[in-house]
Amino acid sequence: MLDFSGIRALLDWVHEKGAESLEIAALFERVRVLCQNLDFVKMHKSVEKEIDPVRKRYSQGLNMGYLGYYEPSELRVQMAANMRRGRLLRKPGNNTDYTYAYDKSGNLLQIYGPGTPFETLCYSENDTKAFVTFDACYTIWDNPGILCTTFAKYDPAGDPETILVASWMSRYDKKNRNPEVVQVDMDIYQPPENNVQKCCLATLFRHGADLESCLKNKSARIIDRVTVFYGERGKIVNWDWKREPIVWEDIHG
């Protein structure tokens, strides 16, 4: 159901262009086209058939976002959320648990956030992973609305190379019920050298997004340049970062 060749092409394009050179409207349109035909009901039913109930696992951490333990950006987990992944548990603890479902081969299929109606369906192909999060309580459509899509491509060593997270907003008028991408967060990593790695963390806001009044008629580009330092075991031990001046683009620009 997912176009992995299209997802890889998108991530390669993002990595090659760099966050500072991406045209915001064009980027958001490419993400929208990749996801426009996703059908939650069909996807959910297909996943449910493959789940092995014996293999369910759990984890805690309310600030870990939709993906919990499987958030692909270790840098954002530590920098933004000030969290650690913790570990996977065989038994649920309390209502702050994430729930993870797998198939008989141990492949991740589904994530439920703690105390929320959000369901994430999980897919992978070769060096690329895709996570699609739906709001199961969305009532305007028969088909629940997309909340978030996360695409990640990994290098030969299994470390993230490019991560792209798109946040979606659905229109509430009857004439236009199609979801639109309103924000994209991305990680773009360069190959590490001597346990040091350069990374660009970027957030792009779509013009016209009804988020805050200051963003209503603007597009915004926020870029952080990060130098990551790793220890002997490949764990992040420190980082330096610098935020570039925020670039605002007129809705007609």
Closest CA to 129 of 108, 153, 106, 105: 153
Would you say how long the chain is, in residues? 253
Q: Which run of H or of E encompasses 109? A: strand 108-112
φ, ψ at 245 (rounded to 5°): -55, 135
Q: Where are the domains of the chain?
A: 4-250
* 154, HSE (Cβ side, Cα atoms, 13 Å): 13
| Beta-strand pair 108-112/160-170 | unpaired
Return the structure tokens found at 21: 């050179």
Alpha helices, H only, the chain? 4-17, 24-35, 40-50, 74-79
The per-residue pLDDT for range 201-237, each reduced to its tens digit, is 999 987 655 544 445 567 889 999 999 999 988 889 9
| Beta-strand pair 179-189/196-205 | antiparallel
pLDDT at 183 over 50: yes
**pTM of this structure:** 0.89
The per-residue pLDDT for range 23-82, each reduced to its tens digit, is 888 898 999 899 888 888 899 999 999 999 999 999 887 667 889 899 999 998 888 767
Count of Cβ atoms closer than 10 Å to residue 237 Cβ = 11
Answer whether 213's CB lies under 8 Å from 187's CB.
Answer: no
More reliable by pLDDT, 165 or 135? 165
